[in-house]
Chain A
């Protein structure tokens, strides 16, 4: 090992080595960013699939059955995403994971959002850190990479927006009002839980605002229902019809716009930069 390099040739020789090292790093970075994008795309599709499956069953089967069907379809698709993560394993082995964490995190958060939505529909609970980590582990339970706490929380924070869509689009359905109330309480709980953690995560603070907005939207709808139902002393079946009309008038039917707003409001900054791949 040369100690001091005193000729041009010896200097060029070591820089040759640096070039290989830097190229290796940049190439891996590119590959991971691409992979993260694939994960994001697939996860978004899973979320849409869930919403589609939920509205599909309209009126035919009971609520629970519809949810579970959506969940089983989603889980099938989520396996593809998990396989993508498994494929990253080598690239982020050892100390490399933390070097590339920022390149992986947009996809990871989107995946957690999709996973937690499926989990909520199945169990009505917030998926735990350990469960997410387990979904990112091989058959022996060895993680592909450590799950960063901020990605876990930020992914969950996005879940509230999806739940808002779910609550509002199911409100026109039979039994949808109690569902909406359930979701409303759940999202309120999420918001309270996250609030205590915001001092530690700058990104989470921004997302909390979006969560608050989503919550407000659900609350507004719940209010509309409460007001209408107080005017009539009617059985729930008849009320369902009335509510259907209310929702249509309020323009809450689709929910598509809400999603766009959420994206604009919530994702500005961090992720977009990462996705363009030029955050540094």
Chain B
């Protein structure tokens, strides 16, 4: 190989290596934050309904702090190379989106939309080709949320909250109907989608137990 070419290749290589290191540092930071988030949110399983707003309030600043990380990653990624590097942070990003969506459910009982989730994490539209929230990552995060909600259905009954499982049931069924509309290929998303039915089954059992014993308040139309 002629020396000039070899040198050029090494240059390209060094640049990639350097960039990878920098991204890795940011991802480590991101990971720390998302771990804190999931740690805090895990408390929901032992938090009575009256104290939920307080818990949500402790989570919000950590979510806010993710904005710095997303900005740093967007800054690092060269134009048009989002898909080249995104695998490095997609686990962290999915966890962050999960936290944001879960918090939204706890706050309003509704689904956090993708654009709103991106906004919560400070992801800007103009970063489109460098850092964006893809549909795939968002959907993964929603599945994580459903997994978590099925636990919450069980645990809220333990805490004496009989209304929560009914709310969760309606919400999750709506989400499931949404997922059923997708033409999924044989990939990770598909496998996780397939696992949703077990969460639904679990939630349904709780609803069944609660209604059978007439513990739940009479269900009115959900809004």
Is B178 a contact partner of A14 (Cβ separation < 8 A)? yes
Query: Are the CB atoms of A4 and B116 closer together than 8 Å?
Result: yes
Decide yes or no whether A236 CB sits under 8 A from chain B: no
| Contact stretch, chosen from A20-28, A74-82, A164-172 | A20-28
What string of 1s and 0s marks CB contacts (under 8 Å) between B121-135 and chain A?
Answer: 000000011000001
A129 sits at the interface (CB 8 A) = yes
- A130 x B8 contact (CB < 8 A): yes
The digit string for B48-76, where 1 denotes a CB below 8 A from any CB of A, is: 00000000000000000000000000000
A129 touches B9 (CB 8 A): yes
The answer, yes or no, to whether A185 is at the interface (CB within 8 Å) is no
Residues of A within 8 A of B159 (CB): none
A209 located at the interface, meaning its Cβ lies under 8 Å from any Cβ of chain B in the complex = no
**Chain B contacts of A153 at CB under 8 A?**
9
Contact with B along A82-99 (1 / 0, CB 8 A): 000000000000111111
Q: Are B135 and A21 closer than 8 Å at their CB atoms?
A: yes
On whether the beta carbons of A95 and B80 are closer than 8 Å, the reply is yes
Contacts of A7 in B (CB 8 A): 174
A58 within 8 A of B: no
Which of A34-42, A189-197, A254-262 is near enough to bind chain B?
Answer: A189-197
* Shortest Cβ gap from B185 to chain A (Å): 6
Contact, CB under 8 Å: B80 / A94: yes
* Chain A nearest Cβ from B201, distance in angstroms: 20
- Residue from B1, B12, B178, B179 having most chain A Cβ neighbours under 10 A: B1
Instruction: Tell which of A15, A97, A98, A193 touches B181, judged by Cβ atoms closer than 8 Å.
Output: A15
B177 near A22: Cβ-Cβ < 8 Å: no
Q: A11 contacts B177, CB within 8 Å?
A: yes
Contact A18 B110 (CB under 8 A): no
- A19:B181 contact, CB within 8 angstroms: yes
Do the beta carbons of B113 and A2 come within 8 Å of each other? yes
Interface residues of B, CB < 8 Å — how many? Answer: 45
Least CB distance from B5 to A in Å reads 4
Q: Please name all residues of chain B whose beta carbon is closer than 8 Å to the beta carbon of A22 when the two chains form the complex.
A: 135-136, 182-184
CA distance A161 to B60 in the complex (A): 59
Do B13 and A197 touch across chains, with their CB atoms under 8 A apart? Answer: yes
Given A6-B108, A280-B188; A99-B114 close (CB under 8 Å): no
- From B25-33, B39-47, B81-89, the one touching the partner chain is B81-89
Number of A residues near B (Cβ < 8 Å) is 41
Q: How far is the CA of A200 from the CA of B128 in the complex (A)?
A: 29
Contact B2 A128 (CB under 8 A): yes
* Known A11-B174, A149-B13: A128·B113 in contact at CB below 8 Å: no
Secondary structure of the B side of the interface? helix
How many inter-chain residue pairs (CB < 8 Å) link A and B? 111
- Which B residues are CB-close (under 8 A) to A2? 113
Q: Are A15 and B182 in contact (CB under 8 A)?
A: yes
Please state if A5 and B111 are interface contacts (CB–CB under 8 Å). yes
In the complex, what distance in Å separates the CA atom of A24 from the CA atom of B1? 41
Q: Which of B114, B174, B184, B186 has the most CB of A within 10 A?
A: B174
How far, in angstroms, from A16 to B183 measured CA to CA in the complex?
10
Of the candidates B12, B82, B83, B128, which one forms a contact with A149 in the assembled complex, judged by CB atoms under 8 Å apart?
B12
Q: Known interface pairs A4-B104, A6-B110, A278-B186. Does A193 touch B135 (Cβ–Cβ under 8 Å)?
A: no
Q: Is the CB of B174 within 8 A of A8?
A: yes
Contact bitstring B10-30, A, C-beta under 8 A = 1, else 0: 001100110000000000000
- With known contacts A95-B81, A190-B1, A12–B181 Cβ distance under 8 A: yes
- Say if the beta carbon of B219 comes within 8 Å of chain A: no
Measured between beta carbons, the chain A residues less than 8 angstroms from B136 are 22
Q: Kindly name the residue among A12, A18, A153, A193 whose own CB sees the greatest number of chain B CB atoms within 10 A.
A: A18
Task: For B187, give the chain A residue with the smallest CB separation.
Answer: A280
**B183, A26: Cβ atoms under 8 Å?**
yes
Q: A6-B110, A95-B128, A97-B80 are in contact. Are A11 and B135 (CB under 8 A)?
A: no
B182 to chain A minimum Cβ distance, whole angstroms, is 5
B175 / chain A contacts, CB cutoff of 8 Å: 11
> B114 contacts A101, CB within 8 Å?
no
Beta-carbon contacts of A118-137 to B below 8 Å, as 1s and 0s? 00000001101110000000
Besides A1-B113, A95-B80, 5 new A-B residue pairs in contact (Cβ under 8 A), listed by A number: A1-B115, A1-B116, A4-B110, A12-B177, A197-B9
B interface list, Cβ under 8 A from A:
1-2, 4-6, 8-9, 12-13, 16-17, 80-84, 104, 108-116, 128-129, 135-136, 139, 174-175, 177-179, 181-188, 223
- Would you mind naming 24 contact pairs between A and B with Cβ atoms under 8 Å apart? A4-B110, A4-B116, A5-B111, A5-B112, A8-B177, A11-B111, A11-B175, A12-B181, A14-B113, A14-B178, A18-B182, A19-B183, A22-B135, A94-B80, A98-B84, A126-B2, A129-B12, A130-B8, A153-B9, A189-B1, A197-B9, A200-B13, A278-B186, A280-B188
